[in-house]
Chains A and B, each alone.
Chain A
Amino acid sequence: MSNEALQTTYMEQRANLCRFVAARLRDEAIAEDLVQELWVKVSKAKITETLDNPVSYLFTMAGRMALDHIRQRQRRVRRDEKWTDESTEKTGGFATSNEEDGETRLLRGERIARVRAAIDTLPPKARKAFELHRMQGLSHKQVAAELGISVSTVEKHIIRAMRELTQILRGADP
């Protein structure tokens, strides 16, 4: 897929992307900014590979940018809490992802170690399917072909893996 084709998809999906990011951030103005930033990324991106699913590619990128923004927001909230010395937890279940100071870098390390441990304790087939999908970037269909199983089985494996991961990370919350 050429860069141009991706830009065309972007133009077609721009409004949907804005609405999606706004729903994630609950802030339309920032969503607008982020989706604009995405345009810059898209026009600069060197796409050498063929994109099977340009729509999902754009939404995934937008989702990742939204997540980064959410992380930054958590950091600010935590800093503010420190200042006002309020220890009430208003940050929901993910106060552990502040990467700015050493303390939270350790927390991040702890999270990663937990994720690793969760993956390692999966049944071998679920683990293999998840690793091929998440780490090697294969689609469900490709994973199915690779492992000689059905797409719906792949889906079951991925759901199982993600369930374990989220459970173990919830346990990591202070």
Chain B
Amino acid sequence: MGNEPNNKRAEKAKEDALNWHVRLHSGSASSDDWIAFTQWLETDTAHNDAYDVIALAWDDAGSLSAIVETDEIDTPAQTNNIIAFPLHRLRKAIRARPAAFGGGFGAAIAATLLILMAPVFIGQNGTPGETLYTTGIGKQRTVTLADGSTVMLNTGTAIAVSMDKNSRRIELQKGEASFTVKHEKERSFMVAANTLKVTDIGTRFIIRMDVGRTLVSVTEGIVEVEPLPLENRTLPSPLPALRLVEGQQAEHQFGAAIKVQPFDTTKVTAWQQGLLIFENNGLTDVIAELNRYFAKPINMVDADLADLRFSGILQITDQDRAMRDLTALLSLTAVETETGIALQHTTSDNRQ
């Protein structure tokens, strides 16, 4: 360990190194600044050592994701489904529930966190990485991005966000998300989803990805939609962009042309209120929709159930409640099995 004057010298070096670093990375450093900095480094080896620490901290910070604000609907017990979860909130959750989780929980979460944070290391070498936001089945969350835009993620959704000073790019990797975009003249806001690229012109829209289909619904403002080649996604689109206005929806079935159609805003945005609205929908579709939200998949036991049609509002926040409502309205019976929930006709055998 060093003596007193040495410590003082090291303290001064640290402070100077910090000020140098901040000035040089402000965005307005000139070559004179860099030369003066070089001279400062040359003056004393302690300067260079002090700067090492700063440079490493800066580098580490660059490999982190920027999590600005999150607002989750998840119950705390399920928070480990979330990849980009801020540490301080995690701590709060743990502190608030010592009895429920026991001592091992904190350590388990800490371990999970390290592993789950791994994806953000990808964008290393100083380039700011992508930030991944995900939701598990039955979960929703709202994320505020660094530019002030917000994204509400529906069940089973993943988005990768990368922003720099010239662009704002989001890839919807799966699921469904509602975007409320803060318009910027300089940086366009682009979302790639499957086969479509959506460019915002200051607006609110929802994108949903299903197997073989992408849906873009505009609830406010205007967006541009263009097909995106699945292979080489950097290639420009061969077709002109379509312009969608409020109340319009683009539907792209893979291999077909993009269809533009009107849509029912209340129905399309109902998930944001924790609801699903059906109007004379086939039971097959209703079940497929419910299965996006529920961990226990619903199966039709009796094949002729597929002919039934259903109208009504179901809650997606509570599977038991949704099943009670659905079976009551259709006079069916739901039986819990090992693999999920079996939906069948009500007979004298299974009537309770």
Contact = CB atoms under 8 A, between A and B. Distances in A.
Contacts of B53: 93-94, 166, 169-170
A63 to B, nearest CB: 7
Interface string B94-106: 0000000000000
Interface stretch (A32-40, A78-86, A111-119): A111-119
Q: Which 8 A-B pairs have the closest CB atoms?
A: A139-B27, A135-B66, A23-B41, A120-B88, A165-B57, A140-B26, A131-B66, A137-B164
B82 to A, nearest CB: 14
A136 B29 contact: no
Contacts of B58: 134, 162, 165
Most buried by A among B19, B27, B53, B131: B27
Most buried by B among A93, A111, A132, A166: A166
Given A16-B35, A128-B68, A141-B27, A67 B56 contact: yes
B41 A24 contact: yes
A140 B27 CA distance: 6
Most buried by A among B24, B51, B146: B146
A70 B52 contact: yes
B56 A94 contact: yes
A159 interface: yes
A139 B26 contact: yes
22 contacts: A49-B164, A49-B165, A49-B166, A53-B29, A56-B34, A59-B24, A64-B59, A67-B56, A93-B53, A109-B114, A115-B64, A120-B86, A131-B66, A134-B61, A135-B66, A137-B128, A139-B27, A139-B28, A140-B28, A163-B18, A166-B57, A169-B56
Contacts of B25: 56, 60, 133
B91 to A, nearest CB: 9
Most buried by B among A19, A23, A97: A23
A26 B46 CA distance: 12
B266 interface: no
B21 A162 contact: yes
A36 to B, nearest CB: 18
B73 interface: no
Contacts of A140: 26-28
B65 to A, nearest CB: 7
A93 B52 contact: yes
B28 A141 contact: yes
Interface string B39-83: 001100100110111111111111111101000000000000000
Given A70-B52, A131-B146, A136-B164, 20 more contacts: A19-B35, A24-B41, A49-B165, A55-B34, A59-B24, A113-B110, A113-B117, A116-B64, A116-B87, A117-B88, A131-B66, A134-B61, A134-B128, A138-B165, A139-B28, A140-B26, A146-B147, A155-B26, A163-B18, A165-B60
Contacts, number: 165
Given A109-B117, A159-B22, A166 B125 contact: no
B160 interface: no
B31 interface: yes
A64 B126 contact: yes
Contacts of B164: 49, 136-137
A101 interface: no
B113 interface: yes
A116 B117 CA distance: 10
A157 to B, nearest CB: 10
B18 A162 contact: yes
A150 to B, nearest CB: 13
A2 interface: no
Interface in A4-35: 12-13, 16, 19-20, 23-24, 26
A8 B56 CA distance: 30
A90 B118 CA distance: 30
Contacts of A97: 56
A158 B331 CA distance: 63
A152 B14 CA distance: 20
A142 B187 CA distance: 13
A23 B38 contact: yes
B163 interface: yes
B325 to A, nearest CB: 41
Nearest to A23: B41
Contacts of B64: 112, 115-116, 119, 135
A43 interface: no
B352 interface: no
B37 interface: yes
A50 interface: yes
Interface in B1-32: 14, 18-19, 21-22, 24-31
Contacts of B37: 20
A155 B22 contact: yes
A100 interface: no
Contacts of B30: 55
